[in-house]
Amino acid sequence: MTLMKMPKQIEARIPDSLREVPAEITWTRAVAAGSLIAGAVLLFTGRRKSALAVAAGGAAVALLEKPEVIQEIWKGIPGALHSAKDMLVRVEEFVEDVAAKGEKLRKTLTMS
């Protein structure tokens, strides 16, 4: 299969900036951008699971270009998990405190 040559009339109307793809646009960037756009379209049409899968695939392809980013994220996971655990402990303590104060208030109001 061969590509057709573009007719001269159409080629003359294309701006010079569109005739060549810049060198900094790699296939990984193009695939990542396309999948993120497709994910957004799927999200707007109400297909959330498909949108998430397509966007995750695009993000994975984007990370192929810079593997050091993956290493930094991987090294940062334990710290993030520790911070999340600490926050959950604080939230649990807060909820227990509110429940205890609510119970005390309920007893006070029912005694009156």
CA–chain centroid gap for 100, Å, is 39
Coil, strand or helix: which one is 45?
A: coil
pLDDT in tens, 55-108: 888 888 888 878 888 788 889 999 999 999 999 999 999 999 999 999 999 988
SS3 40: helix
Q: Write the pLDDT tens digit of every residue in 4-16.
A: 666 776 667 666 6
* Separation of alpha carbons 55 and 43, rounded Å: 10
The H or E element that residue 15 is part of is none
d(CA 55, CA 33): 9
Q: Is the dihedral of CA 40, 41, 44, 46 positive or negative?
A: negative
Domain ranges of the chain: 23-65, 68-112
Asked if residue 69 lies in contact with residue 63, where contact means CB atoms within 8 angstroms, the answer is yes
Residue 60 has a pLDDT of 85
pLDDT digits 0-9 by tens, 1-59: 456 666 776 667 666 655 555 566 677 788 888 888 898 898 899 988 998 899 888 88
Contact 28, 64 (CB under 8 A): yes
